[in-house]
């Protein structure tokens, strides 16, 4: 899976996928008010909820080294 966006994993976690500064796909699992790095393999069996990696975030999560307008 190489998609950007927000996903619901098979275990119920929200996973946010975005491209990092080096151009690699990075995945982060939402844990309360934190985003924890996770393996892209966590997306196996996940359902895509949105093309937006920050979908339903208030305020939007900011991955290390990225800016959100």
Task: Per residue of the chain (69 residues), give pLDDT as tens.
Answer: 567 899 999 888 899 998 888 888 889 998 888 889 998 788 888 999 999 888 876 555 555 444 444
Strands 5-8 and 34-38: unpaired
- Cα 25 versus chain centre, distance: 10
Whether 46 and 8 have beta carbons less than 8 Å apart is answered as yes
């Amino acid at each position: 899976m190489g998609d950007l966006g927000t996903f619901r994993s098979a275990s119920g976690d929200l996973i946010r996928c975005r491209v990092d500064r080096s151009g690699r796909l990075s995945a982060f699992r939402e844990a309360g008010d934190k985003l924890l790095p996770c393996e892209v393999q966590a997306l196996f069996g996940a359902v895509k909820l949105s093309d937006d990696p920050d979908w339903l975030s208030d305020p939007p999560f900011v991955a290390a080294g990225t800016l959100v307008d």
